[in-house]
């Protein structure tokens, strides 16, 4: 087993709180546009650093950093905390993970703090509660553990047995056999309420662990949502309001009269949407009033959920909701 690379992957992924450094193939929809062939092959995560964007991942034992239009090969260096990498021959270019955020310096210029906005298709994570547990796929590697430290295991991810929307992994780990079953069925975390695309069951050490898996953002992306209700006041007939969640953290659409653009963030606390920028068209007063209510409520969103028939609910701090369906 190629443990030097595995340890680097595991250390960085653990420090970022993510599933994996992902080898190819790449989920092109999840990746940022125009990554370039070298970085795309090693793509693991996309990071937003203020108004800048970076990608990181591994190609063999070497970390690849794409920062703007520049690409760097980095090696691991000693750090008091997190995982720190320096460019080969250029110690002023650094990637340093800080939990779910990271610091990036390019040729001596320190970028604004970075946050993760997308991950590659080989990065997968499942979590559950009572007891708290996590299962992570690091490309070909598997890590399982419970929050209390009672159960821990590592091994390699086998090819799954696929039947319909169910994937079953039967792995041999350093602590015994582990079976993970992921069903492509929406699942809400029992603590945070965060929706995930997979319902997961893990069998290990004579115990069964139930929870949710997959990237929550995948349920939001993939097409247009059409708004049917704003705060239980309905929507004006023939007034089209839409939401399109982009491949990283972009959110755009039509607000009634004008088009808007903003960014969204998913975290352990829920879903947050930044105040939106809009075009400046003028429409009849009723449409402008509806647009203002929609944009104001969207900026107050704290979490999201799905109805049994698949409609999306964006829920504000006061409980007011925006309801939308796939267009």
Give the alpha-carbon dihedral of 73, 77, 79, 84, to 10 degrees: 10
Domain ranges of the chain: 3-119, 123-215, 220-326
Residue 43 is predicted with a pLDDT of 58
Residue 21 neighbours by CB under 8 Å, 6+ apart: 8, 9, 12, 13, 44, 56, 57, 58, 123, 138, 139
Burial of 311 (0-12, 13-18, 19+ CB in 10 A): middle
Instruction: Examine the pLDDT at 42 and tell me if it is beyond 50.
Output: no
Residue 15 is predicted with a pLDDT of 42
Superfamily of domain 3-119: C-type lysozyme inhibitor (2.40.128.200)
Cα separation, 61 vs 42, whole angstroms:
11
Instruction: Examine the pLDDT at 156 and tell me if it is beyond 50.
Output: yes
What DSSP assignment string belongs to 47-58?
A: EEETTEEEEEEE
Determine contact, residues 141/157, Cβ cutoff 8 Å: yes
Least confident of 165-174, 260-269, 318-327: 260-269
Determine contact, residues 125/136, Cβ cutoff 8 Å: yes
Percent of the chain surpassing pLDDT 70: 81
Residue 12 is predicted with a pLDDT of 41
Residue 11 is predicted with a pLDDT of 44
Q: Average pLDDT, stretch 266-280? A: 92
Whether this model's pTM surpasses 0.75: no
Show the CA angle centred on residue 177, arms to residues 44 and 214, nearest 5°.
30
Instruction: Examine the pLDDT at 119 and tell me if it is beyond 90.
Output: no
Residue 46 is predicted with a pLDDT of 84
Q: Average pLDDT, stretch 273-293? A: 97
Same fold, 3-119 and 220-326: yes
Show the CA angle centred on residue 227, arms to residues 224 and 232, nearest 5°.
160
Q: Does domain 220-326 have CATH number 2.40.128.270?
A: yes
Across-strand partners of 104?
95
The Cβ of residue 256 has, within 10 Å, a number of other Cβ atoms equal to 25
Q: Average pLDDT, stretch 131-158? A: 85
């Amino acid at each position: 087993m190629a443990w030097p690379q595995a340890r680097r992957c595991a250390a960085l992924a653990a420090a970022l709180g993510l599933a994996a450094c992902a080898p190819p193939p790449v989920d092109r929809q999840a990746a940022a546009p125009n990554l370039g062939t070298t970085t795309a092959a090693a793509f693991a995560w996309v990071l937003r650093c203020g108004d800048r964007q970076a990608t990181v991942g591994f190609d063999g034992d070497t970390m690849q950093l794409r920062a703007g239009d520049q690409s760097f090969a980095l090696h691991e260096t000693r750090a008091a905390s997190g995982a720190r990498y320096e460019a080969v021959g250029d110690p002023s270019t650094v990637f340093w993970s800080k939990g779910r955020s990271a610091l990036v310096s390019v040729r001596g210029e320190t970028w604004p703090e970075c946050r993760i906005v997308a991950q590659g298709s080989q990065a997968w994570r499942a979590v559950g509660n009572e007891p708290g547990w996590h299962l992570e796929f690091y490309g070909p590697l598997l890590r399982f553990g419970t929050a209390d430290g009672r159960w821990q295991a590592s091994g390699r991810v086998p090819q799954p047995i696929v039947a319909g929307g169910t994937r079953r992994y039967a792995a041999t780990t350093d602590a015994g056999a582990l079976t993970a079953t992921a069903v492509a069925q929406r699942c809400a975390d029992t603590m945070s309420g965060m929706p995930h695309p997979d319902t997961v069951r893990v069998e290990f050490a004579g115990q069964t662990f139930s929870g949710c898996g997959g990237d929550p953002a995948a349920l939001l992306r993939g097409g247009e949502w059409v708004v049917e209700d704003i705060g239980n006041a309905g929507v004006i007939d023939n007034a089209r309001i839409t939401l399109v969640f982009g491949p990283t953290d972009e959110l755009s659409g039509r607000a009634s009269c004008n088009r808007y653009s903003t960014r969204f963030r998913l975290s352990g606390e829920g879903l947050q949407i930044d105040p939106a920028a809009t075009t400046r068209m003028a429409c009849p007063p009723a449409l402008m009033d509806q647009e203002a209510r929609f944009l104001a409520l969207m900026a107050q969103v704290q979490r999201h959920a799905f109805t049994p028939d698949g409609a999306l609910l964006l829920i504000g701090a006061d409980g007011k909701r925006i309801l939308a369906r796939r267009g």
